[in-house]
Structure formats: C-alpha cells, structure tokens
C-alpha cells in the first residue's frame, strides 16, 4: 500500500510538473501576443477563476476522494456517496451562478475592464470546473492517478492551444486567449470514459490488490475503534465539505492576503511596488505548493484506506515519511536562499529592490512549516476531523491578517515574511496536537 501511495505521488508529480510548464507557456504566448492592458485582464481573469474554483470545488474533490477510498476499503457497495457529492457540487455551482449574475456589473466593469466576453468566460469556466473537480475526486478515490494526471495535463494543453493560435495568427485578441480557460475543463473530461471503463470488479481494490473479506474488515474495525464511522448522509457530507471550504478560504488568505493588504495600506505607486515584491517573495512558498498538490491528492485516499483497515502503524509511517521529506526539502531551499537567494530573485524578477537574505531564508522555513501543516491536515481529514482542523486554520489565518493590519513595521516586506512564517508555525503546531489526539 505504501508503494502504491509513493507511485501515485510520483506519477502525479510528473503530470503536475509538466502541467506547470505548459501553463507557463500559455502565459508566455499570451504576453507576447497581447497588449499590456489585455494581458493584465487575462491574468486577472485567471486569478478570479482559480481562486473561486479552489475555494468552491476542492472541498467536494476531497470529500469524494476520502469517501470512495473509505468505502472501497470497507467493501461497501453502492453509489449513494456519489449522489451526495454531486448534490453538494451542484448546489455550489448554482450558488456561484446566482452571485455572479447578481454582481455582473462590478465583475464585468471593475474587474474585467467592461468586457462581456471575459465575464461569460469566467462564468462558463467556473461552472465547468464543477464537473472537472468532481472527476478529480472520483479518480483520486479510486487510485486512478495516471488518469488524474492526464486530466490536468489535457486541461493545460488544450488551454495553451488557444494562446498558440493567437500567437501564430490563426486567431486574435484577448477573447480568443481567454476562451481557452473555458474550454480546458470541458475538454479534460475526455478522461472520464476511460476511468469508467477501467473500474475493477468489486472483489478488487482500485490499486490492483485484493480487498479484505468483510469478516477481516470487521475484525480490523473492532481492533481500531476510531475506524468506525456513522452512515454517510447528505448532512454529514455537507458538514465535511463546509469545513474543507473554510480551510480553502484560509489557504487563499495565507497565499494572497499579504500583497493585497500591503497594497491597500500604502499610497500610490509605492503600494503597488511593495505588493509586487511581497508577491515575488511568497513565490518561494507558492511554487512548491504546485508540486505538493500531487502529494495532497494521493495521500488522502491512501491514509483513508489505512485507517479504514485499522493499519495504524503504516498510517503513521506514511505521515512521518512525508514530513521528513518536507523537512529535507525546506532545508535545501533555505540553504540555497542563504547562499544565492538575493542573486536568484534579482535574476528572475529584476527591479531595483534588494531582496534581504534573512527574509528569504525565513520564508523558506515558513514554506516547510506550511507544507507540513498541509500534510497533517490531510491526515486529520482521513480521521474525519475536518471541523477541528478548520478551526485551527481559521485561527492561524486570523492571526496572520491581524498581524499585518494592527502591527506597524517600517519594513513591510519583513512584516509579511514574519507573519507568514509565524502563522505557518502556529498552524503546524495546532494541527500536530490534533493529529496526536486523533
């Protein structure tokens, strides 16, 4: 089972890594094909879409991933859990559509420069991602990580084709580039029929191993009281999804509130410049999170299966090995930042600002603490402790924002670096306490 988790994480890491390169190509092509103003609208549209879908739909992805893995490990048949998840996802999509239509004026005029085409791309894309994230949860729960990687890669490639068409002259304008964002999640659903065709017999697990007989599972459940769970209902599924939605909001706060609050608190061009610098510094935390998505996606169903089978020792080993790998990675990044950090930042981003070596090292450690917290969070979700985990996230995010709003620092960049690392440490500590109790 541990080998299956490692293989799944490796497959997804490759797929998501290539996806990141293709996404970079999309923006590179767009930036060379559009005016600065048009390209700016494309980046705003991208941010609006992906912040929205991450907050709204990842909870159902994680709900499906966990529930499918749990019921598969216990030998529970039926599709009730799929209907519950689909109902929640549909409700979230309808809620978004109502809000988006009600706020069409501010969204279209203030955010998207008055472009009705970009507005409808946003609406269609966000609604289409409801199906895409549902499919991701289904694939992860069944350990179909090759198809999961294929889905995100097909999404990125199909989106990039629209920017390429504009770059070589087949199409023109920001609308053509933006249409790729709406088409991508729809095209990526082409992997769903192969996933349904590859469903294995009820006597087997999705990873190819034989499922324990019901009697064996009952014995494991008797040995591990925490493995017993109440019946999966709409109310219980909604509670889990709501808790994860709060976690997603807090995650976006950690990653995006810093530049926004700095820009709002400073006047004129200085605020915009400082916001850009803070954004660049926090990329030290953002970039590893892209690859860490592979670990997050594969570890939740893996831990859920172990818990359902009463395999507490392998559960702890999987979590500990992941934490050790994160610590080693963070230490390497911190060392690179200590030796070459300012030079690397100047090379990548240019500008006249001097990036402080100590602050870059600080954010590197904060990144490690944040990734460790994300790992502990997945372990708590596997233990059905989503409400408790979300409370820790809310407190840490609130402390992060309060430190930026209520404390006066002459060096605003250092203030964000301290706030991020301190809040990540507090979050990691709180989740670790919850994990040990679980």
Least reliable range by pLDDT among 5-19, 123-137, 376-390: 5-19
Least reliable range by pLDDT among 34-48, 246-260, 269-283: 269-283
Q: What pLDDT score was predicted for residue 4?
A: 59
Task: Tell me the C-alpha distance between 342 and 146, whole Å.
Answer: 38
Task: Tell me the C-alpha distance between 398 and 257, whole Å.
Answer: 11
Q: What pLDDT score was predicted for residue 268?
A: 61
Does position 202 have pLDDT exceeding 60, yes or no?
no
Q: What mean pLDDT value characterizes the chain?
A: 85
203 or 251, which is more confident? 251
**Spatial contact of 380 and 435, defined as CB atoms under 8 Å apart:** yes
Q: What pLDDT score was predicted for residue 32?
A: 85
For the CA atoms of 365, 316, 390, 305, what is the dihedral angle to 10 degrees?
130
Which residue in the block uniquely carries the two structure tokens 């609130």? 398
For the CA atoms of 280, 432, 407, 419, what is the dihedral angle to 10 degrees?
-10
Structure tokens given for 433: 């306490």
Q: For the segment 327-367, what is each residue's pLDDT rounded down to a tens digit?
A: 999 999 999 999 998 888 887 666 566 788 999 999 999 99
Q: For the segment 62-113, what is each residue's pLDDT rounded down to a tens digit?
A: 999 999 988 888 888 778 888 999 999 999 999 999 999 999 999 999 888 8
Q: How confident is the model at residue 203 (pLDDT cuts 50, 70, 90)?
A: very low
Q: For the segment 114-134, what is each residue's pLDDT rounded down to a tens digit?
A: 999 999 999 999 999 999 999
Task: Tell me the C-alpha distance between 34 and 410, whole Å.
Answer: 38
Does position 200 have pLDDT exceeding 50, yes or no?
no
Question: Closest Cα partner for 65 from 434, 314, 316, 382?
Answer: 382
One-letter-per-residue 3-state SS of 17-57? HHHHHHHHHHHHHHHHHCCHHHHHHHHHHHHHHHHHHHHHH
**Spatial contact of 305 and 346, defined as CB atoms under 8 Å apart:** no
Q: For the segment 244-267, what is each residue's pLDDT rounded down to a tens digit?
A: 999 999 998 988 888 878 877 776
E strand or H helix that includes residue 108: none
Q: How confident is the model at residue 277 (pLDDT cuts 50, 70, 90)?
A: confident
Q: What residue ranges do the domains of the chain occupy?
A: 1-212, 233-438
pTM over 0.75: yes
Q: What pLDDT score was predicted for residue 220?
A: 44
Structure tokens given for 369: 């603490």
Q: What pLDDT score was predicted for residue 19?
A: 84
Residues with Cβ within 8 Å of residue 427, at least 6 apart in sequence: 369, 370, 373, 392, 393, 396
Structure tokens given for 386: 């989503």
Task: Tell me the C-alpha distance between 324 and 306, whole Å.
Answer: 20
Task: Tell me the C-alpha distance between 353 and 349, whole Å.
Answer: 10
Least reliable range by pLDDT among 19-33, 55-69, 89-103, 221-235: 221-235
**Spatial contact of 322 and 295, defined as CB atoms under 8 Å apart:** yes
């Amino acid at each position: 089972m541990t080998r299956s988790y490692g293989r799944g994480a490796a497959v997804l890491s490759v797929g998501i890594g290539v996806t990141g390169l293709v996404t970079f190509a999309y923006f590179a092509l767009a930036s060379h094909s559009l005016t600065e103003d048009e390209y700016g609208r494309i980046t705003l549209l991208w941010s609006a879409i992906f912040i929205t879908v991450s907050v709204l739909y990842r909870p159902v992805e994680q709900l499906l991933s966990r529930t499918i893995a749990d019921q598969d490990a216990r030998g529970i048949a039926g599709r009730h859990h799929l209907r519950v998840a689909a109902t929640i996802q549909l409700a979230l999509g309808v809620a978004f559509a109502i809000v988006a239509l009600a706020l069409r004026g501010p969204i279209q005029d203030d955010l998207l420069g008055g472009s009705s085409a970009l507005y409808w791309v946003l609406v269609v894309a966000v609604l289409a991602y409801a199906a895409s994230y549902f499919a991701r949860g289904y694939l992860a729960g069944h350990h179909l990580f090759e198809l999961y990687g294929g889905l995100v890669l097909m999404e990125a490639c199909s989106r990039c084709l629209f920017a390429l068409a504009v770059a070589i002259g087949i199409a023109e304008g920001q609308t053509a580039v933006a249409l790729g964002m709406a088409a991508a999640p729809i095209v990526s659903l082409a992997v769903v029929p192969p996933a349904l065709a590859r469903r294995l017999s009820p006597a087997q697990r999705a990873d190819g191993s034989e499922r324990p007989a019901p009697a064996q599972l009952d014995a494991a459940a008797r040995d591990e009281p925490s493995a017993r769970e109440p019946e999966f209902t709409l109310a219980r599924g909604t509670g889990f999804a709501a808790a994860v939605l709060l976690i997603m909001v807090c995650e976006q706060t950690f990653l995006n509130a810093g530049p926004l609050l700095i820009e709002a608190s400073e006047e004129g061009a200085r605020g915009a410049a400082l916001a850009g610098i803070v954004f660049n510094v926090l990329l030290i935390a953002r970039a590893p999170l892209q690859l860490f998505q592979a670990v997050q996606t594969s570890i939740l169903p893996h831990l859920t299966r172990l818990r359902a089978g009463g395999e507490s020792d392998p559960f702890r080993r999987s979590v500990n090995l992941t934490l050790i790998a994160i610590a080693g990675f963070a230490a390497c990044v911190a060392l690179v930042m200590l030796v070459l950090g300012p030079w690397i930042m100047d090379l990548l981003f240019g500008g006249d600002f001097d990036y402080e070596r100590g602050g870059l090292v600080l954010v590197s450690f904060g990144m490690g603490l944040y990734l460790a917290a994300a790992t502990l969070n997945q372990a708590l979700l596997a233990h059905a402790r989503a409400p408790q985990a979300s409370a820790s996230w809310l407190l840490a995010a609130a402390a992060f924002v309060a430190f930026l709003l209520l404390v006066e620092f002459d060096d605003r960049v250092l203030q964000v670096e301290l706030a991020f690392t301190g809040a990540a440490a507090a979050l990691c500590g709180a989740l670790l306490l919850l994990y040990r109790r679980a």
